[in-house]
Amino acid sequence: MRPPITQVGAPGAQPKADGTAGTGTFAKSLLEQIDEVNKLQAEAGQAAEDAVAGRRDDIENVMVGAQKADAAFRMLLSLRNKVQAAYDEIKQVRV
């Protein structure tokens, strides 16, 4: 089971002098979630292959695994779209 979603950064964390974030927890958290989505998709794919080959009889769990992987991927895709939209908006700011 996946750990619950936690706070990404400490409230009031100030950027470092080199312009990077205070603790880098957003990037770390994002990479962990990408790895988790990849793991879910690999498990769902393996379960589907096992079901087709006759090594699994629990088709319900295969379908649930595929739905979990799909939902996780859609959430990650949504996050990417939001980040890209925010970046595009920042690019439009005149200095």
Q: What is the pLDDT of residues 56-70, one digit of tens each?
A: 999 999 999 999 999
C-alpha span between 9 and 31 (Å, rounded): 15
Taking only the tens place, the pLDDT of each residue in 1-41 is: 566 655 555 555 555 555 555 567 888 998 999 999 999 99
Name the packing angle between helices 59-91 and 25-53 (round to 10°).
Answer: 150
Q: Are 34 and 2 in contact (CB under 8 A)?
A: no
Give 71-88 pLDDT, tens digit per residue: 999 999 999 999 999 999
Q: Distance from first CA to last CA of the chain, Å, rounded?
A: 46
The full set of domain ranges for the chain reads 25-91
Which CATH number is associated with domain 25-91?
1.10.287
Question: What pLDDT is attached to residue 14?
Answer: 56
